[in-house]
Structure 1
Amino acid sequence: MAGLGTGIGWRPEIADAVERLPGVDWVEVVAENVCPGHVPASLTRLRERGVTVVPHGVSLGLGGADRPDEARLARLAATATALGAPLVTEHIAFVRAGGPLTASDPLEAGHLLPVPRTREALDVLCENVRVAQEALPVPLALENVAALFSWPGEELSEGRFLAELVERTGVRLLIDVANLHTNRLNRGDDPVKALAELPVEAIAYVHVAGGVERDGVWHDTHAHPVPPRVLDLLSELAARTAPPGVLLERDDDFPPEGELAAELAAIRERVPVTGALPEAGDAREGVVREAAEGARERLGLAQAALLSALVAGTPVPEGFDGARLRLQTLALARKRAGVVAKLAPELPELLGKEYRDVFVAYTRTRPMAGGYRQDALAFARYLLDSGRPGDVRARRRLYRWWAERSGPRPPGRTARLLHAARAALVA
């Protein structure tokens, strides 16, 4: 199958620019942001021009202890079909924990968290990957993630963990060289060693992205220019194989169109020719084994304890670096604040400069149990219960905003009149 070439992450904020950029062979879209029955017009136009569109999932949590959610898999499959995609991609990460498996409250990270590189966790991951592969209409490729911390007691290097995953499941790989760079600075991992251990024939494509260093920690922001050391890792990978595709990721603080074009040109200089897209592999006979009895429960308890420490303020589990987990906690809170601000811009508008500090304080006692839209509503209710904003008019506006969105469906005329009357009583 022909390679993908050079691509860019499609985002609504830069949709027009993406359509105008020269030499864009393909785009990647966040799968959860596309409704299979209502594909954005920009993506339709790109497809009509022969530009390939690949859905990139962020919510399956295949590295988690639970089996993959059937509804999420069905939606990802429908998205792939609607976009005519040659493959779909996801992450080697967990994004939620708790629930029935551990008889504890369900918790959402709102972020891609690393899985322990142990053989037992790999067993669970392999089972989850096989479930996903059977439910999807096209091949699956999985991405290595960036991390601020390491799990204690890890048994495999990142490269060996990925190589055994491919060997046992036949899954393809999406190698993010920016994440390798992040893990070099934050966890002391050797990215060159990881590349040397990879089964390069399994690489479906490569991610390139920017970040920033703060206080000795590298933050994989996707909101800054691609640094030279990430491009150097791209060259290191290209010296070992011709990847089928390379994609520039940008998710925030979008630069002018000319700067995006220059970054794509820099990528093409490092990878002037791309290879063929690999066929979906098969699990090698004799290496497929089921997870040991109790493995899911043990992994679930460990992930729930970690996530609870990160988002609910419970004690740091034994063996973890407490300082690193505190950094991760703050990063998760700031990410929640940023996403909620995008989904509900009225909230930072009403609170002004104090929005981020108030939201971070809110997260210390309010773990995210659902999605970001529920989080926005819960934060609004928290503000009202605590007497914010201080201005009475602003508080009335906030009440109306919350009341109109907290019901199961948009309010009718009678409900709107009732909300307006109640808002007038808010002091």
Structure 2
Amino acid sequence: MTQPGRLGTGIGWRPEIAEAVEHMPGVDWVEAVSENLCPGHLPESLRRLRERGVTVVPHGVSLGLGGADRPDESRLAALAERAEALGAPLVTEHIAFVRAGGDLTASPSLEAGHLLPVPRTRDALDVLCENVRIAQAALPVPLAVENIAALLRWPGEEMTEGQFLYDLADRTGVRLLIDVANLHTNHVNRGEDPSRALDELPVEAIAYVHVAGGFERDGVWHDSHAHPVPRPVLGILADLASRVTPPGVLLERDDNFPEPGELETELAAIRTTLAEAGGAAGRATRPKTREDAEPATRPEAVTDAGPENGPATRPAAGVKAPAVRPSAPPAAPDRADPDRADPDPDAPGPSSDPASGLDPAPARARQRLALAQAALLSALVAGTPVPEGFDRVRTRVQARALAAKRADVVAKVAAELPELLGDGYRAAFLGYAQGRPMTGGYRRDALDFAEHLLLTGDPRDARTRHLLREWWLERSGPAPRSRRPAARLARATRRVLLRH
């Protein structure tokens, strides 16, 4: 695997802090959310950064590589277009699913509006590997994929996070974007040991590292990206940097932006953490090989019995743990699956073509994953029963978090709605969202919310209702009213419908 290029220390570029980022000392590179960029009309701030030689990496959030469906060609084309417009050395996405349902389940398509965890099973890994290969073939630059934070644990998981990521990188050659804040989140929420995950990772595959803040409430860690980076997250960064020098480290902040000086202080803390861990990182990390698959036979390793995930290795006293390939636990006999060795030859899509060079996932693996993800997402956004094996309390916490995020994002993409509705916006939106899943993205969600209010006679104030109706009419067509033929007829028709 080719070693990723050096990036240095960076910060997530957001419009709210664009000017501050431009003047921030020591920023080697920035990352911008791909879906928020238009290649033909890049923000002037990003243009100026590019002219100064600052690297800009597009970071995707909507591809859903961990979903049961193959990646959408138009989304891949959009990500590729942004990479080329920015002259980016790589693009990044997430190991997550963001939608479910549809043809594979013969059920309505549902949008999560959020990154949700994939089960660490062989079915999910097969599907993810094929989806990653499809994405790699469509992109003009290398792809790196990010581990995500999660509140929920899937029942019946067959691998640890480190094992899952190792096999993904091993089978596809994809690079890894390791978010140490997400490792901390999963430690608090799911009891997973960040150090063990780092033991099992192929650190030579790391493209760069994310660092971010969050907060804890009622024993649940929320990966908010709106709070200062806590000390435990910097501790995990130090642990990683003691094993390998990361090619790049980036501070993420998405909301509740502080004064520029506070962001600069956080960047300085990251640099200090890396420098202090640099001595250990100077020891070369040798690439992991298949011969490392039985670490217990090595004289410097001793074995701990893991309570859930099988044997784990730790170094003997005073000995640095070698880079080893984690051993996946053996499959349970009752999970034998004959179609894994003999993929369905009728699996749809271009990736099932043997001439493509891809290793297609079994069609039945995709369908099993599709059904499982649709059942979970439906419970989270449509109020259907929680699937067997999931923690019901955590599922309710996740459902409330999704609804809250949905309200927050709609308030950003359609800022006129909270202005029109005032303090009643949030309660009205959460009431609307209950049992009404998002099916077409946040802008469509904003229009559907406004239409719902008008059809139900809200708001009661006549002037506010009039302004809301005008707002909806202006945005509900394919183009602004002033540019549409027969605009008056369309407006009159909609008004008649609204009155009924």
Report the TM-score range of the alignment, normalised by the length of the smaller protein: over 0.9
Looking at structure 1, the residues matched to 102 and 210 of structure 2 have their Cα atoms a distance apart, in angstroms, of: 33
Q: What TM-score, normalized by structure 2, do the two folds share? A: 0.80
Contiguous gaps of at least 5 residues in structure 1:
276-280
The answer for the alignment partner of 1:122 in structure 2 is 125
Cα gap change, 1:98/1:418 in structure 2, threshold over 3 Å: closer, same or farther? closer
The answer for the alignment partner of 2:238 in structure 1 is 235
Match of 1:327 among 377, 397, 402: 397
Spell out, residue by residue over 1:18-68, the C-alpha distance to the aligned partner (whole angstroms, 9 max, x if none). Answer: 000000000000011111222211111101111000000001100000001
Spell out, residue by residue over 1:198-253, the C-alpha distance to the aligned partner (whole angstroms, 9 max, x if none). Answer: 00000000000000111111110100111111011110110111000000000001
> Tell me, what secondary structure is at the counterpart of 1:397?
helix
Deviation at 1:354, TM superposition (A): 2.2
Looking at structure 2, the residues matched to 418 and 112 of structure 1 have their Cα atoms a distance apart, in angstroms, of: 38
The answer for the alignment partner of 2:373 in structure 1 is 303
The answer for the alignment partner of 2:51 in structure 1 is 48
The answer for the alignment partner of 1:215 in structure 2 is 218
Q: What TM-score, normalized by structure 1, do the two folds share? A: 0.94
Deviation at 1:193, TM superposition (A): 0.5
Looking at structure 2, the residues matched to 391 and 418 of structure 1 have their Cα atoms a distance apart, in angstroms, of: 25
Looking at structure 1, the residues matched to 365 and 247 of structure 2 have their Cα atoms a distance apart, in angstroms, of: 36
Deviation at 1:396, TM superposition (A): 0.5
> Tell me, what secondary structure is at the counterpart of 2:9?
strand
The answer for the alignment partner of 2:15 in structure 1 is 12
Name which one, 1 or 2, has greater alpha-carbon Rg. 2
Deviation at 1:410, TM superposition (A): 0.5
Spell out, residue by residue over 1:286-306, the C-alpha distance to the aligned partner (whole angstroms, 9 max, x if none). Answer: xx8542341111100110111
Cα gap change, 1:57/1:422 in structure 2, threshold over 3 Å: closer, same or farther? closer
Q: Which amino acid aligns with 2:448?
A: A
Match of 2:86 among 83, 88, 91: 83
Looking at structure 2, the residues matched to 315 and 345 of structure 1 have their Cα atoms a distance apart, in angstroms, of: 33
Looking at structure 1, the residues matched to 416 and 362 of structure 2 have their Cα atoms a distance apart, in angstroms, of: 49
Deviation at 1:420, TM superposition (A): 9.1
CA contact (8 A) 1:392 1:426 kept: no
Cα gap change, 1:120/1:388 in structure 2, threshold over 3 Å: closer, same or farther? same
Cα gap change, 1:100/1:352 in structure 2, threshold over 3 Å: closer, same or farther? same
Deviation at 1:422, TM superposition (A): 8.0
- 1:108 aligned onto 2:111: yes
Contiguous gaps of at least 5 residues in structure 2:
282-286, 291-357
Looking at structure 2, the residues matched to 87 and 380 of structure 1 have their Cα atoms a distance apart, in angstroms, of: 39
CA contact (8 A) 1:177 1:206 kept: yes
The answer for the alignment partner of 2:385 in structure 1 is 315
Q: Which amino acid aligns with 2:427?
A: D
Name the count of aligned residue pairs. 419
Match of 1:412 among 482, 486, 496: 482
Aligned pairs (5 A) from 1:333-372: 333-372=403-442
Cα gap change, 1:421/1:349 in structure 2, threshold over 3 Å: closer, same or farther? farther
Percent identity between matched residues is 72
Looking at structure 2, the residues matched to 215 and 382 of structure 1 have their Cα atoms a distance apart, in angstroms, of: 34
Aligned pairs (5 A) from 1:15-30: 15-30=18-33
- 1:159 aligned onto 2:162: yes
Q: Which amino acid aligns with 1:221?
A: S
Kindly report the root-mean-square deviation, in angstroms, between the aligned alpha carbons of the 2 structures. Answer: 2.3
Q: Which amino acid aligns with 1:231?
A: L
Q: Which amino acid aligns with 1:141?
A: A
Looking at structure 2, the residues matched to 395 and 364 of structure 1 have their Cα atoms a distance apart, in angstroms, of: 22
